[in-house]
Amino acid sequence: MSRQATGTRELVTRRIADETIIVPVVGGVGELDSIFTLNDTGSHIWGLITAPITVQAIVDDVARTFDAPRDRIEADVIEFLEHLAAAGLITPLDHAVSTR
């Protein structure tokens, strides 16, 4: 289990089998209605964004790791990052993203 901060939110994450479970914590209590479960690919990306990283670097890494067309990977990575940002789990930093 690990803890990290995303701006004003704190998160608890745990890797179970091929999934990562993310629980936002407010005032020391987990927001159980806001639990996120990431599949293997999402878990891989989550591991990459523990420090600021460019979207292109994420796409490059995912393309090396998973067998899929690069244009599909890029579209999926961007959509996934937008979803994480909309949920307040990451903070885009111009062309980089960060969970800090």
What are the domain boundaries of the chain?
Answer: 2-98
Number of DSSP helices (H) and strands (E) in the chain, helices first: 3, 8
Is the Cβ–Cβ distance between 47 and 57 less than 8 Å? Answer: no
Structure confidence at residue 4 (pLDDT)? 42
pLDDT of residue 60: 96
Beta bridge partners of residue 20, listed in sequence order? 15, 38
The pLDDT, as a whole number, for residue 87 is: 82
Q: Amino acid identity, residue 37? A: T
Dist CA 50 CA 71 (whole Å) = 24
Those residues of the chain that have pLDDT short of 50 are: 1-8, 100
CA distance 33 to 23: 9
